[in-house]
Structure 1
C-alpha cells in the first residue's frame, strides 16, 4: 500500500510541475505574441514526418489545458489516495494530458488525428477505470463508438481540405481555395467530428454517461478541459484552415449551439446523480460557446471584424471560465462522493454542517456557473449578449431572424441553469440529512480543499477583473478576425466596455464592492442597531413540524414544475399516481418517467439495425465452399456492371 501511495504522489506531483511549466510558457507566448514557432520530427508518414506549431490560438488553449491539468493534479495528490484501483488510472493520466497538448501543437492532419486518437483512447481507459461499477462498462463502450465516429468525420474533413494534391500540412491547406460546396461539407464534417467530442446535440449521448464514470479529477479534465480541445479543433479548421466563411455557416452553428444549450440544461434539471448533473451542464455551456462562435462567423462573413472579435472573445472567455468553475464543481462532487459514497443528491442533505469548506466552495462554483455577478460566468455570458445586440446590422434576413431567437434561447438556458444549481446545491447541502452516510460525512482532505479554494478565488477574481483576461485574448482574435476588443485595463475602475461607453459597460469590481458593503451594512444594522432583545425559536419548518427528512423538498419535487412545462415535449415525461381510496392503509405511489428521446429515436434504431445486420452476416461464416464461390461470383459481376455503366 505504501508503494501505491508513493506512486500516486510521484505521478501527480510530476504532472503538476510539468503542467505549471507548460501553462507559464503558453501564457508568456500569448502575451508577448511573437511569430509562430514551427518544429518538425522525422516520425509519422514517410517523407512527411510530424509537424508542430504554436501560435496565439494554440497558446491560449495550451494555457487553458495545462492550467486545468495542474489544478486536477494538485487535487489528485490528496483525492488519489482514496482511489481503489490506482493501477488503472496512473499509467493513462499523463498520456491523456500529453494527447491533449499534442492536438493543440499539431501542424499537419496526420499528427492532429494521431494525437486526437491518443487523447480519445487514454480518456476511454480512464473512463473504464471503474468498469465493474454500475453502467460504467456501457458508458465506455458508447464513448469509444462516438469517439471513433468523430475521428472518422475529421478524417473525411481533412481529406477534402487536402484536395487532389494530398498535402496534409496545415500551411499548404491554408493556401488552397475550396469550392463553396466543399467548404460547406467540410464545415458539417468538422461540426460532427469536433461536436461529438465537445458534446453537441445530438452527438452528446456519451457525455452524461462517460464523464461521471471516470474518477472525479479525470471527470473535471474531461468536462472542463477536453471539451475545449474539441472547441479548438472546430476553430482551427472552420476559422483558420477553411478560409473565408460563408454567412449561412453561422446559421448552422447558431442553431446547433442554441438547441444544445437548452436541451443540456433541461436534461441536467431531470437528473439526480450529482456528476451527471454537472456533465449535462457541460453540454449547456458548450452550446453557449458555439453560439459565440456562430456569431463570430456571422460577423466575419460580412466584414464586421470588430463585432466578430467581440463574439469570439466572448466564446473564448466562456471556454476559459467554464474550465475554472466546472473543475471546481467536479472537485466538490468528488469530495461529496468520497464522504457519502453516493452520487444521488436525494440521499444527501445537510452537508453544509458536515463539510462546511466544501459547501462554501461549491456555493461559489454554483454561483459562477449560474452566471451570477460578481463571478466570472456572468462576464462571458454578458459579453455574449452584447454580441447578440449588435446583430441587427447584419444584412442577411436569415441572420436577422435567427440571431435574436438564439439570444432568447440563451437567456432561457441561463435562467434554467440558475434553477438547476439552486436545486442541486439546496438538496445536497441544505436541509436535513436523508441518509446515514450523509449524517456521518466528514470534510475531505486538505489537498482537495485547497484546490477547490484556489479555483473559487480564481472564479471570483476573473469576475472582478475580467479586463485582464479580455486583453490577453486580443492576440488570438487579431489572428482570426484581424481585430480585437478595445483595451480594457486602461479604463477607469477597471470597467469593461465591449464597444463604447454609450452602449454598455460593466464593472465587476464596483459590483463586488457594492455587494460586500450591502451585506456588511445589513449585518451591522441587524446585530448592532436593532433591538437588543434576542428571541430564539425553531427554524422555519415550511409548515411541516415533523422533523423527518421525508417532509423536505426533494430533487424530483423541485424539478416537477419545469418537467411538466418542458419535459412532456422534450423528454416525453409521464407521471403516474396511485392514490388509495379513503379507509385503505396501503401507501400512495407516485412515479415519474423521463425518456431520452434522442437516444430512443436516433441511436436505438441504429443499434437494432447493427444487431440485425450482425446476426445476418454471422451466418455467412458457416456457408459451404460452393456458396462462398457463388457469392464471390455474384459480387464480381455486380462490380463489373458498375464499372461498365459508370460515366
Structure 2
C-alpha cells in the first residue's frame, strides 16, 4: 500500500469519526471516543508523512492516486511529494496534540455536541487540501475545511460576539475561495485542464502569471491572515474553543501557506523579480501591524491571534525573498530563504499551539481571558507557567529556542540581497530587514507583557487567587510542544537537512548539508559568513544560570523572608496598583498610536477636595476595518437594497435579463478562447 493510500485511509477514518460523533453525542464516552480516534489517526498520518519526507524521493517519483469522483472527465487526483509530506506533518502533529489536549480541556466544554462532529472533519479537510492534485479537489477540500472550522467558531453561537466572528469569517473564507477559483481558472487556461500536472507544464504569459499571483495572495492571504485580509482572525480565534484556536492559528494558517507555495513555486513556473517585491511589502507590513495590534490587546487570546498575523508576515517575507532570488538565478540564496520560511512554519505551529493551549489552561482555571484580571498564576499553576514561558521565549525569537533559528535564517537571507541586480530590490530588502527587526523587538515586548501581567505579580481578582493547575492531558500536550520548541532550537541542523528535499524540488538547490558540520553547528552559506550553534548556547545558558543561582544561595544571606513588595511605607496596597496590560503598552502606543491606531487618551482628574475617583480612558481605532471594510459593507448594503427591486419585475423583464446575461457570458467565452 502506497503512502498516499495510507493517508487517504486516515482521512476516511477521520470523516468516519465525525459521522460517528453524531449518534454518540448523548453518550458520556463520546468525548473520549472522538478525541482518542482523532489522536490515533492523526498520529498514523504524521508518521506516514514523516517517513516519506525522510525517504526524500524526487518529485518525479511522487505517488499519485486517482479516484473516480469529482469532475466527470478528470476524477479526483491525490499526490504525495516532499512539500505535501512536510505540511501533512505539521497538520497531523498539531491535530494529534490538540486531540490530546482536548481529552482534558473538553471536559469543561459547555456545548460538546457542537464541537465533537466538526473537530475530526476539520482535520480531514486540511489533510485533503494538502493531498489534492487538481484544482477541483483542492477547492472542494478548501471549502470543506472552511465550513468545518466555521462550525467550530460558531460552537458558542449564543454569544453575539461569536456570531459576528462567525459571520466575518465565513464571508472572508468565501471571498478567498472565489479568488482561488479565478486563479486556478487562469492557470487552466482555455484548455480547461484543471489537473496540477497539466498546469505544471503549461506556459503562462507574464500577464496571466501576475494576475494569478494577485488572486493567489487574495485567496491564501485571506485564510493565512495577511494584512488587510486579517480582520476575521482576531475575532474567530478567541471565539473558538482553545484547542480549536490552536489548530486554526498554528495549523490552518499553514495550509494557506502551503497553497501559496504550491502554486507559486510549483505551478506558475519561473517567477518575475517584481513578484518578490509585492510579497515582501505585504509580508513586512503584515508583520509590523500584527505585532503592534497585539501589543495593544489586554485579551490574552486576541493578543495571540494578532501575534499569528505577525508570524505569517515573517513567513511571507522569507517567501518573497525566495521568489526574488529564484527569479535572478540565485538558487542557493533562494533555498536559504525558502528553508527559513518552512522552518518558521514548523516553529510557529509549535509555539503558537503551545501558547493557545496555555491560554486555554488559564481560561479553564480562572474563567478569564482579560489579563488585567489575572496575575500571580505562577504560584498556582507552576507547570503551565513554565511551559507558557517557553512559548513566550520561543515566539520572541530568543536563543536557544526554535523561533530564533528561523528568524536568524531569514536575516541571513536578507544579507544576500546586495547580489541582486535590480535596484528596487537592493533598496527594498534592507528596509524590509529593518521592519523585520522592529517586529522581532516588539514581539519580545509583547510577550514580556503577556507573561508578566498574566503569571507574575499578585492576583488582581478572586478568580486568579483561587486558580489551580489543569489536568494531566493538557499538561502533557503543552509539555511535548515545549520540548519540541527546545529541540528544534538546539538541533536545527536536523530540521534544515530534513527540509532539503523540498527546496531541491521547488528551487533546484539546497542548503549545505548541516549534519556534517562539527558540534552540531549550522552554517547557512559559508563559514566565512556566519554560523550558529544552538546546543552550545543552551549549555552556556544552563551553566551560567546554574552557577549564578549557586553563588547567590551559597554566599548571600541564607535567611528566607517573605514580605509584600516595597510600597513606599504603605503595606497591604491594592493589587490594582500593579502594571496592567494597557499601562505596559503605553510607551509603544504613544510612539505609534497616532499614526497606526489614532489613539486618544482621556484623563479626568478631579480638583483638590473633590472625592470623585480619577479616570483614565484610551480609545483606539482599527483603521483598516473603519476605512476599508465599513465603506464596502455600506456599499454592499446600498446595492442590495437597489437590487431588491428585481424581485418585483415582470416575466418579460426577467427573460430579457436572462437573455442579456447569456449574451454577455458568450462574449466573454469567445474573447477568452
| Alignment TM-score, normalising by the size of structure 1 | 0.96
Deviation at 1:643, TM superposition (A): 9.8
Instruction: Tell me the residue number matched to 2:48.
Output: 25
Q: Could you give the per-residue CA deviations for residues 298-357 of structure 1, whole angstroms, max 9, x where no partner exists?
A: 110001100000000000000000000000000000010111111111111111111111
Question: Aligned ranges for residues 358-373 of structure 1 at < 5 Å?
Answer: 358-373=384-399
Question: Aligned ranges for residues 188-587 of structure 1 at < 5 Å?
Answer: 188-528=214-554, 530-531=555-556, 534=559, 536=561, 538-541=563-566, 543=568, 545-587=571-613
Q: Could you give the per-residue CA deviations for residues 445-465 of structure 1, whole angstroms, max 9, x where no partner exists?
A: 110011111111110111011
Instruction: Give unmatched runs, 5+ long, in structure 2.
Output: 1-23
Give the 3 Å change call, closer, same or farther, for CA 303–138 of structure 1 in structure 2: same
Instruction: Tell me the residue number matched to 2:16.
Output: none
Separation (CA, whole Å) in 2 of partners of 1:633 and 1:385: 61
Deviation at 1:484, TM superposition (A): 0.7
Question: Aligned ranges for residues 4-153 of structure 1 at < 5 Å?
Answer: 4-34=27-57, 35-153=61-179
Deviation at 1:272, TM superposition (A): 1.1
> 1:4–1:86: 8 Å Cα contact kept in structure 2?
no
> 1:224–1:322: 8 Å Cα contact kept in structure 2?
yes
> 1:100–1:116: 8 Å Cα contact kept in structure 2?
yes
Separation (CA, whole Å) in 1 of partners of 2:579 and 2:393: 21
> 2:374–2:460: 8 Å Cα contact kept in structure 1?
yes
Separation (CA, whole Å) in 2 of partners of 1:140 and 1:24: 34
Q: Could you give the per-residue CA deviations for residues 446-501 of structure 1, whole angstroms, max 9, x where no partner exists?
A: 10011111111110111011111111000000001111111112111100110111
Separation (CA, whole Å) in 2 of partners of 1:581 and 1:12: 60
Separation (CA, whole Å) in 2 of partners of 1:227 and 1:478: 24
Deviation at 1:642, TM superposition (A): 12
Give the 3 Å change call, closer, same or farther, for CA 24–291 of structure 1 in structure 2: same
Secondary structure at 1:243 match in 2: coil
Answer with 31-40 or 300-309: which moved more: 31-40
Separation (CA, whole Å) in 2 of partners of 1:250 and 1:100: 27
Secondary structure at 2:458 match in 1: coil
Give the 3 Å change call, closer, same or farther, for CA 541–4 of structure 1 in structure 2: farther
Answer with 197-206 or 335-344: which moved more: 335-344
> 2:38–2:99: 8 Å Cα contact kept in structure 1?
yes
Separation (CA, whole Å) in 2 of partners of 1:532 and 1:635: 90
| Alignment TM-score, normalising by the size of structure 2 | 0.93
Instruction: Tell me the residue number matched to 2:13.
Output: none
Separation (CA, whole Å) in 2 of partners of 1:181 and 1:316: 28
The alignment covers a number of residue pairs equal to 643
Instruction: Give unmatched runs, 5+ long, in structure 1.
Output: none
Question: For the aligned residues, what is the CA RMSD?
Answer: 2.0
Q: Could you give the per-residue CA deviations for residues 38-91 of structure 1, whole angstroms, max 9, x where no partner exists?
A: 110000011211000000100110111111111101111111121111111111
Q: Could you give the per-residue CA deviations for residues 476-531 of structure 1, whole angstroms, max 9, x where no partner exists?
A: 00001111111112111100110111111000000011001101111111112x15
Answer with 569-578 or 612-621: which moved more: 612-621
> 2:567–2:573: 8 Å Cα contact kept in structure 1?
no
> 1:5–1:81: 8 Å Cα contact kept in structure 2?
no
Q: Could you give the per-residue CA deviations for residues 167-206 of structure 1, whole angstroms, max 9, x where no partner exists?
A: 0111111111111011000000001100000000000000
Which residue, out of 171, 174, 181, partners 1:155? 181
